[in-house]
A and B are shown apart, each in its own frame.
Chain A
Amino acid sequence: MSNSSGENVRSTLLRGIQIEARNAKVYDTFAQLFQGYDDSVTAIFCEMADEERQHGTDLEQRYRARFGPVPVPAEEPKEVIEAPDLEDAEALIFDSMTLEQALEVGLKAELMAREFYQREAGRISDPDLQKLYQELGEFEEDHVRRLEEKLAEKGHAPKSTAR
């Protein structure tokens, strides 16, 4: 493995760690935002925040195994990859956020991440980095599957902006 390849792997892992940490914060924020509304929505956002933290911990372990201590990031990640967001600016006004929609917020973010990692894996020629992207893509694939299963359990129907 060349030096530049090692550096690419290191920075990609680091970016992954930062993104997971950022997303955990976003889910925490959503959980707090919906406090007092539908408890199942708050609970699912808390659950997703915990999962993101768990992903972060897994990535940190891998980082430490290869590169030593994980540096503290100087700033929030710039990328929007896998950033979860509410779809509806008026969800709180109309008290319309459902458990299914909350799951969709997570699913949309994970799908974006999976697509990104898979695209990068196909684009990059460095085998070491390619392997990492593939692994990260599989990681996200797993999350996508889990969220889809949860949505299927809830008898999920396609969303509409109509109330």
Chain B
Amino acid sequence: MATATQTQQGFVPVEALEKPWRFDLFRRWPWLKRLVRMRSFQYFLLLPNLFMFYLFLIAGLFGTPVGSSNIIIMYVWILWWFVLIAVMMPFGSRIWCTMCPLPFFGDWLQRGAVIKVRSGKSPGTNNKFFGLHKRWPKKLSNIWLQNFGFLLLATFSALLVTRPIVSVIVFGIMIVVATGLALIYRLRTFCNYVCPISGFLSLYAMTATLELRSTDKDECLKCTTKSCIRGSEDGWACPWNVYMGKLDRNNYCGLCFECVKSCPNDNISLFVRPFATSDIVIRGYDEVWKASIMLVLAFSYSVVLLGPYGQLKDWANISEVGNWGGFGLYAAGQALLALVVFPGLYYLSIRLAKWYAKIDNVSTKELFLRYAYMLVPMGLLAWIAFSVPLIMVNGSYIISVTSDPLGWGMDLFGTAHFPWTPFWPEWVPFIQVPILLAGFYYGVRGIHKVGRQLFSDPVQLHRSLVPPTALLLGVTLVFMKLFIG
């Protein structure tokens, strides 16, 4: 039986969603709001990052080709990755995007300014933008490009994480494409539709304990300017094209804080909230497939890097072994698993749920999309669990490479000869298991909440949860087997 707030196709209005507690950081610490409202705020974070990034690229170009001795590999693919996935994503949403150097040059050329705002009438906005300011094709207005881009990068990850020059080329291409797109299309087209990192940032930002939201929705209703999205003389139009007045999930808010500056009603605040309990609505197949790709990649990396399958390791390791036939098999298998097999299993679980719970008032599509939320916390926590041994076992390379960033035999801080030392490797499984169990718990809890909005009959609700929960349990057990043997 459908609930009162549900229309024929299972649409649940934003206002009707049950909200957990949240804590208003701007109200608690007004200095934080003052800081964020400063025009230069984002650049305090971004410019040092840009400088570091530039140094990494130099190291990648001119430093040693040995990955474990080059700072670009150790800092980007071990330290940055771990901090991004295990700290920034769960606690800071898309805070990485606040300081990301990749779109900097595009923004600069598009705005004709680094810090100041320019009022004007570029279509859709209250700001003056340079470039062609075209509309991105409607058919590509989704995250499919990001999905395929990330899968492609991940498939060639062995090259990426061992050959510094490959990282330089990939980042170089990303900067050029981001800049080119900013000159042709509106706002952050690269971030919205192309950046391969963005896809998983958007998905996993749903779980984050941080959100930027309007404080009073009624104020937004009465607001005639909608400056948060259109910009004003105090802030640029939302680079991500998000309307703060109705924003209800973190996915596409890049935390640039322009809206905080441009809202004339001082109606936007930063909130702390519980983990993985607020944004539970998956809205498109592209997002479901993103969740599947991420989960399968976590599985595939775990099998290749942590598992005992030497043959598979050789196939995946195209950079050193060079077995292109084996690599083709590995790449095709991985793609098949991510794009067909796992989504197929999930679809099956939804069909079973519909049959077992005798659901005829919620379409298969709606249930398929809505219950896919369970893959979000599970995926993030599986990635965190996978990344734990990376930092604990290989983290010591970071210490040595800091003193000798180019692998030229320098010893800047006296740590260049710090030996490879795994940190408490015996503890790794004891850390991984609770993380995986937390993923399972939050996944089930999430779909239970979604289900409560769809079904008012508790028997129907619980029956509808059984098949997807069984699938999620299976996923958890497979990861456990991989991690603890």
Contacts and interface: CB of A to CB of B under 8 A. Distances in A.
A77 B229 contact: no
B262 interface: no
Contacts of B284: 94, 162-163
A80 B218 contact: yes
B241 interface: yes
B248 A159 contact: no
B124 A34 contact: yes
B163 to A, nearest CB: 35
A77 B133 CA distance: 35
Given A76-B222, A94-B284, A161-B283, A87 B9 contact: no
B313 interface: no
Contacts of B225: 29
Contact of A29 (B7, B134, B218, B230): B230
A119 B467 CA distance: 47
B468 to A, nearest CB: 17
A78 B222 contact: yes
Contact of B243 (A25, A26, A89, A163): A89
Contacts of B141: 93-96
Q: Tell which of A25, A32, A83, A90 has the most Cβ of chain B within 10 Å.
A: A90
Contacts of B229: 33, 92
Given A80-B221, A95-B136, A160-B9, A90 B242 contact: yes
Interface of B: 7-14, 123-124, 133-136, 138, 141-142, 186, 192, 218, 220-226, 229-230, 240-248, 251-252, 281, 283-286, 365-366, 369
Interface of A: 22, 25-26, 29-30, 32-37, 76-80, 83, 85-96, 158-163
Contact of B11 (A78, A96, A160): A160
Contact of A95 (B135, B246, B281, B369): B135
Contact of A86 (B9, B186, B243): B243
A163 B142 CA distance: 9
Contact of B365 (A29, A33, A87, A162): A162
A16 B4 CA distance: 31
A45 to B, nearest CB: 12
Given A29-B230, A86-B243, A87-B246, 9 more contacts: A37-B124, A86-B245, A93-B252, A94-B141, A95-B135, A160-B7, A160-B11, A161-B12, A162-B369
Q: Is the interface of B mostly helix, strand, loop or mixed?
A: loop
A158 B220 contact: no
Contacts of B285: 163
Given A76-B224, A85-B220, A160 B243 contact: no
Contacts of B10: 160
Nearest to B243: A89
A91 B12 CA distance: 16
Contacts of A77: 222
Contact of B242 (A32, A35, A89): A89
A36 B241 CA distance: 14
Nearest to B226: A29
A83 B224 CA distance: 10
Contacts of A93: 141, 192, 240-242, 252
B135 A161 contact: no
Contacts of B7: 158-160
Contact of B252 (A35, A36, A90, A160): A90
Contacts of A80: 218, 221-222
A86 B11 contact: no
A76 B285 CA distance: 42
Contacts of B242: 89-90, 92-93
Contact of A92 (B9, B12, B222, B241): B241
Given A87-B246, A93-B241, A158 B9 contact: yes
Nearest to B247: A89
